[in-house]
Chain A
Amino acid sequence: MSEPEGVSRRGVFVKLGLLFNGAVAVALAVPVVRYLLSPVLRAHGTADEAWVSLGPAMRFPAGQTRLATYQNPVARPSDGATAQLPCWVRHVEGEKFQVFAINCAHLGCPVRWFPQSSLFMCPCHGGVYYADGSRASGPPERGLFEYRWKVEKGELLIEAGELPTPGGRALASLAAGSSRCA
């Protein structure tokens, strides 16, 4: 059997075979990539954020800041204790609240409230915040993250579900709302 110079029948079959495998690989890659990116794609489709209850609003005395916990709205059975999340509730007065994320705006460590000096302090790198969540000192570049809140039928609700991070979308927009006074 004679073949033209440079092109053999078997050579063409190998290339066709590789092309075929490549096409199958691309077809398979689409669902694989979708699966890998599902945490991001889901965030664009159905919202991760949902209104969750912190319990009766009257549990938070006016003028005080208290720790509250809530159930993560996107909790799954394997989450264990991580499905319960804490936050700081400041009852300013009357129907006015502020709900702060537990996570320091620097690197996310849990901030602690000191009522005697009216300061939040972070144990990791020494970030300090005033009672209204605004930055007092230390490495954070901004005040504490705040949740949107509302009171319905005597229940204090917050919109939660996403880990507040310095570069996060949902909570970053709220930063503008926090006042600067101490």
Chain B
Amino acid sequence: MRLTTRVGAWLDARLQLGQPLKSTLEHRVPRNSASWFYVFGSGALTVFVHQVVTGILLALLYVPSAGEAWGVLQVLNHQVAAGWFIRALHGWGSNFMVAIVLVHMVQVLLFGAYKFPRELTWMVGVCLLLMTLGMAFTGQVLRFDQDAYWGLGIGASIASRVPILGPAIVNVLLGGPIIAGATLARFFALHVFVIPGLLFGLVGLHLLLVLKVGINEWPMPGRLVRKATYVKEYNELTHRDGVPFVPDAVWKDVVFSGCVLLAIAACAALLGPFGPSGAPDPTVIQTAPRPDFFFLWLYALLSFLPPASETPILLIGPAVGLLFLFALPFIAGEGEKSWRRRPIAVLSVLLVAVALGALTHLAQHTPWSPVMDAWSGDPIPAKYLAGRTAVERQGALVFQVKQCHNCHALEGQGGQRGPALDDVALRLTQDQLIRQVIQGGGNMPAYGKNLSPPETTALVSFLLTLHPAGQPRAHDASRAAVLDGHP
């Protein structure tokens, strides 16, 4: 007998795990679930293990101190051999983790896998999604840079809006009255101990449930789930048309996991680690904080919600969403599984995907934010200056100096907070322009106190030149009638 076989036999005589392990690995699954659509759960598990390993590697050097964390990241990036690569692996692994978990969830939803008897598997899965997002946010804080510092402020500002308990929640969240060393320490504890501990337990539970109630069979249109008969039907199916999980189904999982790890490594090697951006020094205020990719949609949403509805939506929205996800297997626990016969499920997924995608796209351009240096950096196009009178050019100067360009674009340059002004003279008459500049309104500040009368006159003269050649300016017909005496 070979040595390895003998050692194995010696161990198994004591552990007695061989037989249970063998029967677990070879448990029968429906033949049609050994599909490429069923690889995302195991893919997420692989990335989880990858994150644990790279996380431990980073923890060998990381110091959870507000005074030193940022410096340690610089050391990791620039001085430690392959330090940048380990950081990049962990960062890209995080993005892949969220992405694969979301794809897994969509697949489970569209294949009706949350229905009877897999309700609990789905609910544990929703918890795992929350944990994953929690890891993504707390991990972003551990990269203790400018974005992390101000991101904490955003989190605190949202938490503070909870009625009555808001300020107390902020203090517990930050570990004190203000963002400081204690804040980083507790996010470190969350990211490294608390949430991973919960993840280990919940991932184990999730896997146990998959084994106990079986993997979802490929949904066939017209084959309805009925609580009375489903378990019997499923057992017959796996008996009649089942294959052992190892090796008939698992090889696709293994191949997919390998591809995911390779993709993470490729992204890490080619695109490098995330940040850190500027040092977490709050006195350096020349910064535009942005969250990581998977929270960009929220960042965009926060600029589009009407101010009065923002707090209720922020506080009630997530609770309603979570309640819906948890209740889903009880609302629709029976019936049709196939997405071909579930238009509402398909449309809901599409709606959410389009909404999140559109918000994420917008957040990458931030059309709602003033471009802070447009007034000093973006020139006025030459064609808007050529052949103009002295007072009109003076108005162009006022336009730049008074930071109008930060919110209003000319020929696509400058801010997009307000409307582009390339053809403003077509839309507003002279009187309307004066009123708008002086009184503001429609989300524009009033400049009455900040512009002298000659400056206002010059600015409006300039704005009146902004219309396409050959198209007449907007004019007030009644004014012509009053002043000139004829219409």
Choose the segment among B274-282, B352-360, B378-386, B464-472 that binds chain A (4+ C-beta atoms closer than 8 Å).
B274-282
From the candidates A118, A123, A163, name the one contacting B177 in the complex (CB within 8 A): A163
State the majority secondary structure of interface residues on A. Answer: loop
CA distance A182 to B175 in the complex (A): 37
**Are A79 and B444 within 8 A (Cβ)?**
no
Is A125 at the interface (CB under 8 A from chain B)? yes
Alpha-carbon separation in the docked complex, A138 to B304 (Å): 10
Closest-CB distance, A133 to chain B (whole angstroms): 13
Q: Mark B15-55, 1 if CB is under 8 A from A, else 0.
A: 00000000000000000000000000000000000000000
A111 shortest CB reach to chain B, Å: 8
Contact of A166 with B171 at beta-carbon distance under 8 Å, contacts A82-B179, A85-B283, A107-B153 already known: no
The bracket for how many chain B residues form the interface is 35 or more
User: B302–A125 contact, CB under 8 A?
Assistant: yes
Which residues from B are CB-within-8-Å of A74?
Answer: 176-178, 180
C-alpha spacing A48/B310, complex, angstroms = 29
Most buried by B among A82, A85, A102: A82
Interface members, chain A 78-112 (any B CB < 8 Å): 78-86, 102-103, 106-112
- Which are the 9 A-B pairs with shortest beta-carbon distances? A80-B67, A167-B160, A108-B153, A78-B181, A165-B160, A136-B445, A167-B166, A123-B288, A125-B303
**Least Cβ–Cβ distance between B96 and chain A, in angstroms:** 28
Chosen A-B contacts, 29 in total, with CB atoms closer than 8 Å, are A36-B172, A39-B177, A40-B172, A72-B178, A76-B181, A77-B67, A79-B181, A80-B66, A82-B66, A82-B149, A85-B178, A85-B283, A102-B285, A109-B289, A110-B285, A112-B286, A121-B403, A121-B406, A126-B407, A128-B445, A130-B449, A136-B440, A138-B443, A139-B310, A141-B308, A161-B178, A163-B156, A163-B177, A167-B160
A15 interface residue per 8 A CB criterion:
no
A80, A112, A163: the one contacting B153 at CB < 8 Å is: A163
Chain A interface extent, by class: 35 or more
Task: Tell me whether B308 and A85 are in contact (CB under 8 A).
Answer: no
How far does the Cβ of A63 sit from chain B's closest Cβ, in whole Å?
A: 13
Tell me the bound Cα distance from A137 to B162 in angstroms. Answer: 24
B179 and A163 form a contact (CB under 8 A): yes
Complex Cα spacing A67 to B167, Å: 27
A168–B170 contact, CB under 8 A? yes
Q: Is the CB of A82 within 8 A of B282?
A: yes
Residue pair B157, A107 in contact (C-beta under 8 Å): yes
Which residues does A use to contact B, with CB under 8 Å? Answer: 36-37, 39-40, 42-43, 48, 67, 69, 72, 74-86, 102-103, 106-112, 114, 116-119, 121-126, 128, 130-131, 136-141, 161-163, 165-169, 182
In residues 291-307 of chain B, which contact A (Cβ within 8 Å)? 299, 302-303, 305, 307
Complex CA distance for A149 and B159, rounded to whole angstroms? 27
Does B114 sit at the interface, judged by CB under 8 A?
no
**Bound Cα distance A160, B280 (Å):** 20
CB neighbours (8 Å) of A137 from chain B are: 440, 443-445
* A121 in contact with B450 (CB, 8 Å): no
Q: Tell me the complex Cα distance, A43–B175, Å.
A: 11
Looking at the assembled complex, report how far the CB atom of A89 sits from the nearest CB atom of chain B, in whole angstroms.
Answer: 14
Q: Which residue of B lies closest to A36 (CB)?
A: B172
Q: Of the candidates B283, B289, B302, B308, which one forms a contact with A123 in the assembled complex, judged by CB atoms under 8 Å apart?
A: B289
| Binary per-residue interface labels of chain B (298-329) against chain A in the complex, 1 for a CB within 8 Å, 0 otherwise | 01001101011011000000000000000000
CA A136 – CA B441 in complex, angstroms?
9
The stretch of B99-107, B217-225, B339-347, B365-373 that contacts the partner chain: B365-373
In the complex, which residues of chain B have a beta carbon less than 8 angstroms from the beta carbon of A139?
Answer: 302-303, 305, 307, 310
Once the chains are docked, how many angstroms separate the CA of A107 from the CA of B150?
A: 9
Task: Kindly provide the distance from the CB of A51 to the nearest chain B CB, expressed in whole angstroms.
Answer: 15
Residues of A within 8 A of B175 (CB): 39
Chain A residues near B445: list those with CB within 8 A.
119, 128, 130, 136-137, 182
CA gap between A138 and B310 in the complex, in Å = 12
CB–CB A76/B402 < 8 A:
no
The closest CB in chain A to the CB of B186 belongs to: A39
Select which of B158, B176, B370, B448 is within 8 A of A121 by beta carbon: B370
Q: Which residues of B contact A72 (CB under 8 A)?
A: 178, 180
**Residue-wise interface mask of B (125-159) relative to A, using a CB-CB cutoff of 8 A (1 in contact, 0 not):** 00000000000000000000000011001101111
Say yes or no for B190: interface residue by CB 8 A criterion: no
Instruction: Verify if B161 is at the interface (C-beta below 8 Å from A).
Output: yes
